[in-house]
Amino acid sequence: MRRLLQRPARIVPLAFLGAVVVSTLLMMLPAARAEPGRAPFVTALFTATSAVCVTGLNVVDTPTYWSTFGHVLITVLTQIGGFGIMAMATLLGLLVTQRLGLRSRLMAQAEQTNLQLGDVRRILGRVALTMLVFETAIAAVLAVRLATRYDYPIGRAVWEGVFHAVQAFNNAGFALHSDSLVQFVSDWWICVPITVGVIAGGLGFPVLFELARELRKPACWSTHTRLTVWGSVVLLVAGFVVMLAFEWSNPRTFGALDLPTKLLAALTQSAMPRSGGFNTVDYAAMNSETTAVTTALMFIGGGSGGTAGGIKVTTFFLLAYVIRAEIRGDPDVVVGNRRVGEATQRQAITVALLGIALVATGTLALIALTDGVSLERALFEVTSAFATVGLSMGLTPTLPPAAQLLLVLLMFIGRVGTIATGAALALNTQTRRYRYAEGRPIVG
């Protein structure tokens, strides 16, 4: 145990691995399946990993294959996974801050970073309270709408409201309808609360807490909050425009919808590739241009310290600032009124390149394990698994067991890998008392 505490980045993968093992055994219980008998090992493992890693990918039809007990189990596992992600990411961020030198810590305090929140118990309590507030509000709106508009019995309306609220805020994407949210594509009272939950959960607890204090003072936001909030806004707008532009006249997606419904569908689907996992239109019917942009949005993901996956918004936009500074010949990378250190820049480059390598390798492996699958579909499913998004073009349920196990591995690595890697890189930063002579290789 002492050795683990000395290397805290190892705690995250070990904790999630233990949770996946226990969850798989629970999903294999006969009570978890709607029909008699146990779920096969691969099915139980895939569903358990998808729930704990808050992904939402399925190899079976969730509402019909699993029993009520199974649905409750998926909800609990999703909540545990989402809370664990937010808590561990926040605590590791706190640990990284505490490991900084005096000068860096003073700069962090001047920036009002919200990773220094006091004792661990208070941090975990605020994380739990934040989740409870958002999920309760979303569940209440959904339950009222389902009961009044769709004549659901009160008990069923409340249950579905709670289930989908948990899935939304934790960015999981499991649904109690075989078509996900396609039947609610025109319902603002269903789609908007779920979209808000997905966005809020994807921002991350540190950002949510800082926004609660400094919402009307953007000039006082930390560098992390600036990158996360404005980066998320840019990606949401880009996704909205792309959806409308490329799917406007597609008869299989937006073409048959009226104008308000098109706008709502574009708004909803602009948020889901960032790790939401729900869909109100069929992704298998989308144009190739939309699929390509969706894949890119999935890879970027959401905010650090949140339930979204991917390489994270901060990583992507920090690299954009690095490129901007290099093109302009600036000696420093500056975000707002803060200079970003070289160590942080290297960490961002490392996370991004490792993510690209993992997705590329996974895509090639999936194509090799599956006969006749196209590069577009394989890349989409692999990116969805790595970024723990849960969107699918319908390929995952048809894959052979070996390919499904590959996606299980990608979900696990994608979920814990970015958190553990980011923390390990930050904690492993060392200061040398000497420097080698500078070399100038030809670049480009």
What pLDDT, in 10s, does the model give residues 129-181? Answer: 889 999 999 999 999 999 999 999 999 999 999 999 999 999 998 999 999 99
Tokens of 209: 């807490």
Model pLDDT, residue 384: 95
Lowest mean pLDDT among 22-31, 144-153, 328-337, 384-393: 328-337
pLDDT digits (tens, 9 = 90+) for 194-232: 999 999 998 888 888 888 888 878 878 888 889 999 999
Contact 408, 46 (CB under 8 A): yes
Amino acid at 67: S
Q: pLDDT > 90: what percent of the chain?
A: 59
Lowest mean pLDDT among 75-89, 248-262, 277-291, 337-351: 75-89
pLDDT band at 64 (very low <50, low <70, confident <90, very high): very high
Long-range contacts of 19-26 (CB under 8 A, 24+ apart): 19/52, 19/77, 19/80, 19/81, 19/84, 20/45, 20/48, 20/49, 20/52, 20/53, 20/412, 23/48, 23/49, 23/51, 23/52, 23/73, 23/77, 24/48, 24/49, 26/73
With 90 as the cut, is the pLDDT of residue 292 above it?
Answer: yes
Mean of the per-residue pLDDT values of the chain: 85
For 211-226, the DSSP string reads HHHHTT-GGG--HHHH
pLDDT band at 424 (very low <50, low <70, confident <90, very high): low
Model pLDDT, residue 125: 82
With 60 as the cut, is the pLDDT of residue 110 above it?
Answer: no
